[in-house]
Amino acid sequence: MSDKATLEYNGKKYEFPVTEGTENELAIDIKTLRSATGGIITLDPGYKNTGSCESAITFLDGEKGILRYRGYSIEELAEKADFLEVAYLLIFGELPNKEQLSKFHNDIREESHVDEEMKKILDGFPKSAHPMGVLSSLTSALVAFNPSSVDVSSESEMYKSTVRILAKFPVLVAWAMRKKKGLPLDYGDDTLGYVENIHKMMFKRPNKEYSKNKIVIDALDKLLILHADHEQNCSTSTVRIVGSSFAGLFASISAGISALWGPLHGGANQAVLEMLEAIEADGGDTKKYMAKAKDKSDPFRLMGFGHRVYKNFDPRARIIKKSADEVLGDLGIEDPILEIAKGLEKEALEDPYFVDRKLYPNVDFYSGIIYRALGIPTEMFTVMFALGRLPGWIAQWREMRLKGEPIGRPRQVYIGENHRPFVAVDLR
């Protein structure tokens, strides 16, 4: 196999090195393309064929349905690890031993307060505000209360900013939900596990003792693990590109939250549930909505189906589907929405339109059903995704900064007007 690729244009040949990843992925390294050819660039809207970086964090093979964090399969991590261990693994590259994990958790606990002044910022939002907007704004506001830039040559500064955001972000998540529900803005309980504490912060009622439900905590833990990283997706690329300008970690993450919000990305889990509810309200006729999804004159898409990378199945969807069945069974919930979801899935898997285009249920198809069973309001679904994705964003930001990657700045092919003289307003 050649380690060079040749490009021929206008009778001239140019050679570029071919680089190979540890999982045998090949990439033509075109770093010198523009200078060698006198200005030619590549054009790849949506970056479907463009690698933006070399990364050692997450491997996924969309054809084979493989997802691994730092070499460990998502199936094994979801079954055997907890979310904090996975966060450590993603960020620092290895699973922590007992002492490392305990120190990590204690350091997070030390930082788990959020400045009281932040409550005034939250106060300024209407109750109707979408919690993703609130979360993005509050995360950005954290910058004002904490140093905005991190000296990446200082291991301790890097570590501090990591534990700080892991500590404070869940408080903001809980506040975003509690504000919506009209509940007092509480802090966590340092005696609890990381995820248990998040659950308590979200659900503790002012006049009631908090009681732990293991099924709920385990399901939440698993969901967070499944969302923890997914290599160079839209929000992660956003975090890396914002961070590449040396914007601080919190500012970069705030931008990632905005990118995640859209219905084609993290917002899909909310869109899935709204779609399932609409189908139920419309009499539960899944065939009608299948036909709409296939009709090119109809903008309706089957939310929760299809993926830019997974073209066989989404391994996270398999785990989550099983988990949805277990959680609903254990909690004794019979949800007509789940039946509609199962019906849609069955029909889509047998329908040539979906089969030919390799459109399979993605992680969001089932996550919303579990969130709903756990009592999490629909508008909070994407916030829960952000909470899970936080370690991935941190890991990717850290990797990018430690490698000293250049500022992200794509080029374009200009297709607008050529130079023309200015025309005064009264002559137009």
Q: Which residues bind ligand ACO (CB under 6 A)?
A: 264-266, 268, 293, 301-308, 357, 359, 362-364
Q: Within a 13 Å sphere around the CA of 260, how many CA atoms are in the beta-carbon half?
A: 36
Q: Shortest CA distance to 309 belongs to which of 41, 43, 58?
A: 58
- Shorter beta-carbon distance to ligand ACO: residue 160 or 311: 311
- Shorter beta-carbon distance to ligand ACO: residue 296 or 420: 296
Is 105 among the residues known to form the active site? Answer: no
Minimum distance, C-beta of residue 342 to ligand ACO, in the bound complex (Å): 17
Residue written as token pair 């054009």: 43
Minimum distance, C-beta of residue 193 to ligand ACO, in the bound complex (Å): 26
Minimum distance, C-beta of residue 47 to ligand ACO, in the bound complex (Å): 11
Task: Give whole-number Cα distances, 406 to 28, 43, 100, 243, 259, in Å.
Answer: 19, 20, 32, 10, 21
Indicate which residue of 307, 351, 356, 419 is catalytic.
307
- Shorter beta-carbon distance to ligand ACO: residue 248 or 256: 256
Minimum distance, C-beta of residue 356 to ligand ACO, in the bound complex (Å): 9
Residue written as token pair 């409550």: 119
Minimum distance, C-beta of residue 363 to ligand ACO, in the bound complex (Å): 5
d(C-alpha 296, C-alpha 312), whole Å: 23
d(C-alpha 174, C-alpha 188), whole Å: 9
Q: Which two tokens stand for residue 208?
A: 């009631």
How many residues in total does the chain contain? 428
Q: What is the 3-state secondary structure (H, E, C) of 154-220?
A: CHHHHHHHHHHHHHHHHHHHHHHHHHHHCCCCCCCCCCCCHHHHHHHHHHCCCCCCCCCCHHHHHHH
Q: Which two tokens stand for residue 182?
A: 């009209």
CB nearest ligand ACO: which residue?
Answer: 306
- Shorter beta-carbon distance to ligand ACO: residue 86 or 158: 86
Contact by Cβ (8 Å): 226, 324:
no
Minimum distance, C-beta of residue 264 to ligand ACO, in the bound complex (Å): 4
Q: Which two tokens stand for residue 415?
A: 């297709």
- Shorter beta-carbon distance to ligand ACO: residue 320 or 373: 320
Burial of 199 (0-12, 13-18, 19+ CB in 10 A): buried
- Shorter beta-carbon distance to ligand ACO: residue 180 or 230: 230
Of the chain, the end-to-end C-alpha distance in Å amounts to: 61
Long-range contacts of 93-99 (CB under 8 A, 24+ apart): 93/56, 94/70
- Shorter beta-carbon distance to ligand ACO: residue 47 or 246: 47
Minimum distance, C-beta of residue 383 to ligand ACO, in the bound complex (Å): 14
Task: Give whole-number Cα distances, 297 to 292, 294, 300, 385, in Å.
Answer: 9, 9, 9, 31
Indicate which residue of 221, 229, 314, 364 is catalytic.
364
Q: Which two tokens stand for residue 58?
A: 């997450």
Is 230 among the residues known to form the active site? Answer: no
**Residues with a known catalytic role:** 307, 364
